[in-house]
């Protein structure tokens, strides 16, 4: 062995050293890519998400192509779109979800604006605005039925103000929309306030010293920085409103005007025991939702999305 | 309190790459026990990489580090037993000053009585007796710095590593802490490797300087050597030779070299490297004297900007060919003055 | 002064709309609370008389003690498991850039973005297939699906803002990996874990769809039995359902007040240090 080594080689690392160096360098190359022992920490999370989310989702997807009654793999989807009672659910759901999400986001902006900065009772007011989260759908539904019902307090005042007949606000589209606003608004408000608080107020002050009026500051500084956050808020609000289920049953007209996709999916899967069809409707629901969110996020990608000056 | 002395820490062709970029290109350095070594260079020169490699926080991609002949570069940082002071201090925010300082001792399962005694001693050493029960957030920058130093030296480590420890402090505090660090080093004799981009700090503190550039060692030497005899134009620039005049070499006689500036002005200087035709003449602002008569090594210039610096003035003057000169002088000058600047031959360094 | 005046109309409109919203909200909640205490209430401004008996009857008839115990067990199990799985994942995602990280991020975002019905139905189908639906296990598993990603999502930025130098400093002091986790990281993570836990708790107690799809008669949480009670109304007086709803809202309110003590709601997406 030594005989094979020329004198110059004697200075290079011994075989043992060299081996450990090679090992170190493989380890190093992997570490450079971020692969080291820390990644073991991902295992429980990854197993979890695959087992309880990816697998069921894919299972549902393939199940939706195995119609209960046999036939073409696309039979479930064909049935969905040819049956107007089912196909209509898409529009019914969008007609509820989009206005509710839009209203919640738009209404949050001025209120969040008022809530910026520090003033007495801010915490109390924030809490008050967040309280509807605790109501839950059932209390909201009961309350809507009682309050907006034909003999409820609202219609009593309405009649006292001179209306001829009570306004019909429950067991129809409006009841569900109100319910979505009551449960969705606090959430949209919190997110908007959170995004708004992240914008450094000195940016607006800087614009003011450069001669921008209050309206110009809002239009040229605050809005562009807030817009990406509003896009995210809209998406999350839309998801909440889009998955409407209990309130559509309780304060809506679940067989007609508010026969939304989740009711259709639930009824076919668990009441009629047609899991294949139920999965197909669930997949379509996911698809519609992803399309709406995709459109919003593509729009968001055109906006400035860097730091908003907030610390950290 | 004295560190466990070692005889020699040897960096043998230490190399570190990040992907395709090599941050440290085969660094060779020997550090003797008790020495204060400063790694000096601008950001991106590899000085912090070298320090992190020494600490074990970054694995090497080549070369080896040996401590008294024993290889240590394959050991994790917690096994090496070195102390380190971080730029932003990295104090544990949820622990009091005392617990921060005692953390390393408790990791080594030091008996309670001894732990308390040594923490007391460290607290006294950095003069934090009044603040020892406070939390980091309640301390000023300078006090946090003292905690960080105490935490590093309480273990009496064979080697203390300091990563730009003064860069987050304001100017006055920086000077005070600089003296403090020097005092601690003199009284404890802890071997220290100190990283900085501030040449003044490095000159003031270190026994030996290592000047780095783009991952390569440029010069190693005592502060006097590096300050007076920089080996190349890069080190010279870092050591305060602010005037770098492009010149053409016309004749060489031993050390003495005659050059001409682009405007045709003749200068005689000392050669520091092997030269070709094109070269630079490096002159410190303070080596100029304002004279009244023309003569050898004298430049005609017009004063443009004057900064008041107390006893001195910092002057920016312009040569006829448009070249700008930085001058420090005791003479009182005003913008627009026409002046003659003389520089001694041995203060003009000619680099390739 | 001028600024305040010019902003007046917008300010009045905002506060006006807010007050209108609040009045309606008070009416809605008030109607339910009033009814839960009403002897009987038909077509009048206020009930004929007041009683607290419906609470007692609802408590007995709907076996609310059992339901609350189940709710509590499910919620605690979901919180503990989601923290145990989510925090290590968040740590790895916050500290390392590795191939496939983007994909993993999307996978952890989807369960929060998707309406629960879309993955709830396939999940329920799978759980029925393995005979796991209808049990506590099924309910807990289903509720974990959005809970774990939620912990990951809230903890990742929290871990990112802890300086890695602090871990390096501990290492230089001689701490090994275990000591770094237990002595340095864990105490620093406690506020974040507490905030994430309490939010997961609130979400789980309020989560209707997933529990509804997977629960059996003995594994119903409060929301679901409330819904069942309301859908099967007619047998029992409306007041009982209302008193149950008030109990639910009361417990949610307690949780929310606790949550707000630990979480500043305005700092959900950005951690801005307010001058104190």
The pLDDT of residue A34 is 65
Strand arrangement, sheet containing B338-342:
B289-291, B338-342, B298-309, B312-319, B324-329
What are the boundaries of each domain within chain B? 8-233, 242-351
For residue B98, give both structure tokens.
């005392």
Q: How many domains does chain A divide into? A: 1
Q: How far apart are CA C40 and CA B183, in angstroms?
A: 87
Checking if the pLDDT of A20 tops 70, the result is no
Contact B239, B75 (CB under 8 A): no
A220-224, C82-86, C232-236: the lowest-pLDDT one: C232-236
Contact A25 B74 (CB under 8 A): no
Q: Please report whether residue A9 resides in a domain.
A: no
Give which of C266, C271, C276 to mutate to test A binding, by max A Cβ within 10 Å: C266
Residue A36, CA distances (Å) to A24, A27, A200, B188 in order: 12, 8, 38, 39
The pLDDT of residue C266 is 57
CATH 3.40.50.300 fits B8-233, yes or no: yes
For residue B185, give both structure tokens.
């080093």
Strand arrangement, sheet containing B21-32:
B21-32, B8-18, B62-67, B70-71
Instruction: Give the rounded distance of the alpha carbon of C176 from its chain centre.
Output: 36
Q: How far apart are CA C138 and CA C140, in angstroms?
A: 5
Contact A246 C227 (CB under 8 A): yes
**Residue A270 is part of which domain span?**
84-301
Q: What is the DSSP letter of A14?
A: P
- Which range of A121-125, B54-58, B275-279, C10-14 scores highest in mean pLDDT? It is B54-58
Dihedral through CA B198, CA B199, CA B201, CA B205, nearest 10? Answer: 140
Residues of chain C that touch chain B, judged by Cβ-Cβ distance less than 8 Å: 163, 165-166, 168-176, 179, 183-184, 187-188
Model confidence at A7, in pLDDT bands (50, 70, 90)?
Answer: very low
Contact B190, B160 (CB under 8 A): yes
Closest partner residue to C187 (CB to CB) among B88, B94, B108 is B94
Confirm or reject contact between A12 and chain B (CB < 8 A). no
Closest partner residue to C269 (CB to CB) among A134, A195, A239 is A195
- For CA atoms B43, B47, B53, B59, the dihedral sign is positive
For residue B199, give both structure tokens.
């040449």
Closest partner residue to A28 (CB to CB) among B61, B64, B71 is B61
Domains in chain C (CATH in brackets) are 62-267 (1.10.3720.10)
Tens digits of residue pLDDT in C232-265: 766 677 888 888 888 888 888 888 777 777 766 5
The secondary structure of C67-98 as a DSSP string is HHHHHHHHHHHHHHHHHHHHHHHHHHHHH---
Percent of chain C with pLDDT over 90: 18
B163-172, C160-169, C263-272: the lowest-pLDDT one: C263-272
Q: What is the CATH number of domain B242-351?
A: 2.40.50.140
Closest partner residue to A32 (CB to CB) among B19, B71, B74 is B19
The pLDDT of residue A306 is 66
The pLDDT of residue A5 is 38
Q: Which stretches of chain B are DSSP H helices?
A: 47-55, 77-80, 97-107, 112-125, 141-153, 171-188, 199-205, 223-228, 233-238
Give which of C47, C137, C210, C269 to mutate to test A binding, by max A Cβ within 10 Å: C269
Contact B84 C179 (CB under 8 A): no
Mark residue C86 as left, alpha or beta (left: phi above 0; alpha: psi -120 to 50; beta: remaining). Answer: alpha
Q: Which residue has the tokens 């003031």?
A: B204
- Which range of B110-114, B171-175, B260-264 scores highest in mean pLDDT? It is B110-114
Minimal C-alpha gap between A23 and chain B (Å): 11
The pLDDT of residue C267 is 54
A304-308, B300-304, C118-122, C182-186: the lowest-pLDDT one: A304-308
The pLDDT of residue A137 is 77
Contact A207, A217 (CB under 8 A): yes
* Beta-carbon-side half-sphere exposure of residue B101 (alpha carbons within 13 Å): 31
Contact A250 C230 (CB under 8 A): yes
Instruction: Tell me the mean pLDDT in the region B292-303.
Output: 88
Tens digits of residue pLDDT in C17-29: 888 888 888 888 8
For residue A129, what is the nearest residue in chain C, using CA coordinates?
Answer: C22
- Global model pTM greater than 0.90: no
Q: Which residues of B are less than 8 Å from A28 in CB distance? A: 59, 61
CATH code of the domain containing A187: 1.10.3720.10
Tens digits of residue pLDDT in C170-187: 999 988 888 898 899 988
For residue B103, what is the nearest residue in chain C, using CA coordinates?
Answer: C173
Give me Rg for the CA atoms of chain C: 23
Q: Which residue has the tokens 């297939």?
A: C129
- The SS3 call for residue C248 is helix
Contact C107 A53 (CB under 8 A): yes
Instruction: Tell me the mean pLDDT in the region C50-63.
Output: 84
Model confidence at A19, in pLDDT bands (50, 70, 90)?
Answer: low
Give which of A107, A139, A149, A156 to mutate to test C binding, by max C Cβ within 10 Å: A139
Q: Which residues of B are less than 8 Å from C183 in CB distance? A: 103
Closest partner residue to A279 (CB to CB) among C101, C111, C122 is C122
Classify residue A25 as exposed, middle or buried by CB count within 10 Å of its CB (0-12, 13-18, 19+): middle
Contact B103 C175 (CB under 8 A): yes
Tens digits of residue pLDDT in C192-231: 888 888 888 888 888 888 899 888 888 888 888 888 888 7
Contact A131 C256 (CB under 8 A): yes
Instruction: Tell me the mean pLDDT in the region A109-123.
Output: 78
The pLDDT of residue C233 is 62
Checking if the pLDDT of C276 tops 60, the result is no
Model confidence at C61, in pLDDT bands (50, 70, 90)?
Answer: confident
Checking if the pLDDT of B117 tops 90, the result is yes
Contact C169 B86 (CB under 8 A): yes
* Beta-carbon-side half-sphere exposure of residue C74 (alpha carbons within 13 Å): 35
Checking if the pLDDT of A171 tops 80, the result is yes
The pLDDT of residue B201 is 92
The pLDDT of residue C271 is 40
The pLDDT of residue A3 is 39
Q: How many residues does chain C have?
A: 276
The pLDDT of residue A29 is 67
Residue A88, CA distances (Å) to A81, A85, A177, C84 in order: 9, 6, 18, 43
Q: Which chains touch A (3 or more CB pairs under 8 A)?
A: B, C
Instruction: Tell me the mean pLDDT in the region A42-70.
Output: 90
The pLDDT of residue A53 is 92
Tens digits of residue pLDDT in B10-22: 999 999 988 788 8
Tens digits of residue pLDDT in B211-225: 999 999 999 999 999
The better pLDDT of the pair C114, B150 is held by B150
The pLDDT of residue B221 is 94
Tens digits of residue pLDDT in A231-248: 989 998 998 888 888 888
Q: What number of other Cβ atoms are within 10 A of residue C56's Cβ?
A: 12
Q: Please report whether residue A250 resides in a domain.
A: yes
Tens digits of residue pLDDT in A149-168: 888 888 888 888 887 888 88
Confirm or reject contact between A295 and chain B (CB < 8 A). no
Average pLDDT, chain C: 84
What phi and psi values does residue A261 have, to the nearest 5 degrees? -60, -40
Checking if the pLDDT of C272 tops 60, the result is no
The pLDDT of residue C265 is 58
The better pLDDT of the pair A9, C252 is held by C252
């Amino acid at each position: 062995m030594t005989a094979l080594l020329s004198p110059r080689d004697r200075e290079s690392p011994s075989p043992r050293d060299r081996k450990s160096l090679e090992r170190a360098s493989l380890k190093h190359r992997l570490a450079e890519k971020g692969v080291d022992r820390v990644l073991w920490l991902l295992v429980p999370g990854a197993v979890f998400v695959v087992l309880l989310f990816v697998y069921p989702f894919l299972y549902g997807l393939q199940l939706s192509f195995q119609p209960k009654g046999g036939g073409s793999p696309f039979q479930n989807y064909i049935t969905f779109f040819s049956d107007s009672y089912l196909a209509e659910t898409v529009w019914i759901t969008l007609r509820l979800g989009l206005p509710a999400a839009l209203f919640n986001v738009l209404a949050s902006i001025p209120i969040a604006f008022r809530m910026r900065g520090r003033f007495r009772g801010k915490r109390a007011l924030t809490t008050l605005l967040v309280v509807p989260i605790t109501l839950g759908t059932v209390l909201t539904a009961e309350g809507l039925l009682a309050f907006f019902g034909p003999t409820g307090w609202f219609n009593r005042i309405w009649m006292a103000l001179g209306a001829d007949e009570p306004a019909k606000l429950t067991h129809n589209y409006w009841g569900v929309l109100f319910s979505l606003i009551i449960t969705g608004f606090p959430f949209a408000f919190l997110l908007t306030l959170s995004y708004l608080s992240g914008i450094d107020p000195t940016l607006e002050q800087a614009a003011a010293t450069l001669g921008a009026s209050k309206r110009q500051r809002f239009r040229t500084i605050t809005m562009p920085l807030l817009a990406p956050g509003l896009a995210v808020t809209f998406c999350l609000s839309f998801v909440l409103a889009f998955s409407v289920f209990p309130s559509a049953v309780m304060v809506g007209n679940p067989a007609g005007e508010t026969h939304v996709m989740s009711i259709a999916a639930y009824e076919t899967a668990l009441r009629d025991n047609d899991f294949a069809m139920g999965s197909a409707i669930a997949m379509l629901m996911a698809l519609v939702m992803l399309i709406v969110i995709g459109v919003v996020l593509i729009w968001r990608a055109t906006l400035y999305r860097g730091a908003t000056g907030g610390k950290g | 309190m004295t560190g466990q002395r070692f005889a020699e820490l040897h960096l043998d062709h230490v190399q570190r790459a990040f992907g395709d970029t090599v941050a440290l290109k085969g660094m060779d350095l020997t550090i003797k026990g008790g020495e204060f070594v400063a790694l000096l260079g601008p950001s991106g020169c590899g000085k912090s990489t070298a320090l992190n490699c020494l600490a074990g926080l970054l694995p090497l991609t080549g070369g080896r580090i040996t401590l008294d002949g024993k290889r240590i570069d394959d050991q994790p940082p917690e096994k090496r037993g070195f102390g380190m002071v971080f730029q932003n201090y990295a104090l544990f925010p949820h622990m009091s000053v005392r617990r921060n300082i005692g953390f390393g001792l408790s990791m080594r399962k030091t008996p309670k009585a001894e732990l308390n005694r040594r923490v007391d001693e460290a607290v006294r050493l950095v003069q934090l007796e009044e603040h020892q029960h406070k939390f980091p957030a309640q301390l000023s920058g300078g006090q946090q710095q003292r905690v960080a130093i105490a935490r590093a030296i309480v273990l009496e480590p064979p080697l203390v590593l300091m990563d730009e420890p003064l860069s987050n402090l304001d100017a006055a505090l920086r000077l005070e802490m600089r003296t403090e660090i020097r005092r601690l080093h003199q009284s404890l004799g802890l071997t220290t490797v100190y990283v900085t981009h501030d040449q003044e700090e490095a000159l003031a503190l270190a026994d030996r300087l290592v000047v780095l550039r783009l991952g390569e060692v440029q010069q190693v030497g005592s502060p006097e050597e590096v300050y007076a005899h920089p080996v190349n134009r890069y080190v010279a620039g870092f050591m305060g030779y602010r005037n770098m005049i492009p010149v053409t070499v016309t004749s060489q006689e031993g050390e003495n070299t005659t050059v001409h500036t682009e405007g045709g002005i003749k200068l005689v200087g000392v050669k520091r490297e092997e030269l070709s035709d094109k070269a630079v003449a490096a002159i410190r602002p303070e080596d100029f004297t304002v004279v009244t008569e023309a003569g050898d090594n004298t430049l005609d210039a017009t004063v443009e900007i004057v900064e008041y610096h107390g006893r001195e003035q910092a002057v920016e003057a312009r040569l006829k060919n448009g070249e700008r000169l930085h001058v420090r002088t005791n003479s009182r000058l005003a913008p627009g003055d026409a002046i003659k600047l003389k520089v001694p031959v041995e203060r003009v360094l000619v680099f390739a | 002064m001028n600024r305040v005046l010019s902003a007046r109309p917008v300010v009045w409109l905002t506060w006006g709309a807010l007050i209108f919203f609040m009045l309606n909200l008070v009416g809605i909640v008030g109607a339910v609370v009033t009814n839960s205490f009403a002897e009987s209430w038909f077509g009048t401004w206020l009930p004929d008389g007041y009683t607290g008996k419906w609470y007692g009857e609802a408590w007995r008839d709907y076996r609310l003690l059992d339901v609350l115990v189940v709710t509590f067990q499910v919620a605690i199990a979901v919180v503990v498991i989601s923290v145990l799985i989510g925090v290590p994942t968040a740590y790895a995602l916050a500290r390392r850039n590795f191939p496939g990280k983007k994909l993993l991020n999307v996978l952890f975002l989807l369960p929060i973005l998707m309406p629960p019905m879309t993955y709830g139905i396939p999940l329920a189908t799978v759980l029925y297939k393995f005979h796991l639906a209808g049990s506590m296990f099924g309910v807990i598993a289903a509720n974990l699906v959005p809970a774990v990603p939620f912990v990951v999502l809230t903890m990742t930025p929290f871990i990112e803002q802890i300086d890695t130098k602090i871990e390096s400093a501990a290492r230089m002091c001689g701490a090994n990996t275990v000591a770094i986790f237990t002595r340095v990281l864990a105490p620093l993570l406690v506020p974040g874990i507490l905030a994430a836990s309490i939010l997961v708790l609130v979400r789980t107690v309020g989560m209707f769809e997933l529990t509804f799809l997977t629960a059996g008669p003995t594994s119903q949480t409060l929301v679901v039995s409330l819904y069942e009670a309301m859908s099967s109304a007619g047998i029992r007086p409306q007041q009982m359902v209302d008193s149950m709803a008030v109990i639910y809202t009361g417990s949610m309110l307690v949780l929310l007040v606790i949550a707000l003590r630990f979480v500043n709601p305005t700092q959900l997406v950005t951690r801005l240090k307010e001058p104190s």
